[in-house]
A and B are shown apart, each in its own frame.
Chain A
Amino acid sequence: MVTPTEPASPTATSTRTEPSPAQPQSSPAAPCLTYQPNVDICDYGTEVLLVTDMPGAKADGMNVSFEDGVLSLFAKVPPRTLPGRQLGHEYGIGDYRRSFRLGEGFDASQISAEYRRGVLTIHVPRLAAVRPRKIEVRPA
Chain B
Amino acid sequence: MPIYRSMPRVGVNYPLNELRDELDRLWTSLTTAPPLHGWGVRPDSDLFPAVNISESDDCITVEAELPGLDAGDVDIAVNGEEIVLKGARPETQLLAETGAAPGAGNGERHASVTWHQRERGAGNFERRLVLPTGVDASRVEAKLVDGVLTVICPKAPELQPHKVTVRTS
Contacts and interface: CB of A to CB of B under 8 A. Distances in A.
Contacts of B146: 55-58, 117-118
A117 B39 CA distance: 21
B101 A121 contact: yes
A49 B92 contact: yes
Interface stretch (B12-20, B47-55, B159-167): B47-55
B85 to A, nearest CB: 13
Nearest to A116: B100
Contacts, number: 183
Contact of B147 (A38, A55, A86, A88): A55
A55 B112 CA distance: 28
Nearest to A52: B120
Contacts of B116: 1-3, 41-43, 48
Interface string A1-17: 11110001011111111
B44 to A, nearest CB: 8
Interface in A77-114: 80, 82-91, 112, 114
Given A84-B56, A91-B52, A117-B147, A15 B105 contact: no
Nearest to B38: A38
Nearest to B65: A55
Nearest to B25: A10
B7 to A, nearest CB: 22
B78 interface: no
Interface of B: 34, 37-42, 45, 47-57, 59-61, 63, 65-70, 92-93, 95-96, 100-105, 109, 112-120, 132, 146-148
28 contacts: A1-B116, A2-B117, A12-B42, A13-B50, A14-B37, A14-B45, A14-B48, A14-B65, A39-B120, A40-B117, A41-B115, A43-B113, A49-B92, A53-B38, A53-B65, A54-B147, A55-B65, A55-B148, A56-B65, A82-B54, A82-B61, A84-B55, A84-B56, A85-B54, A90-B51, A91-B50, A116-B101, A121-B95
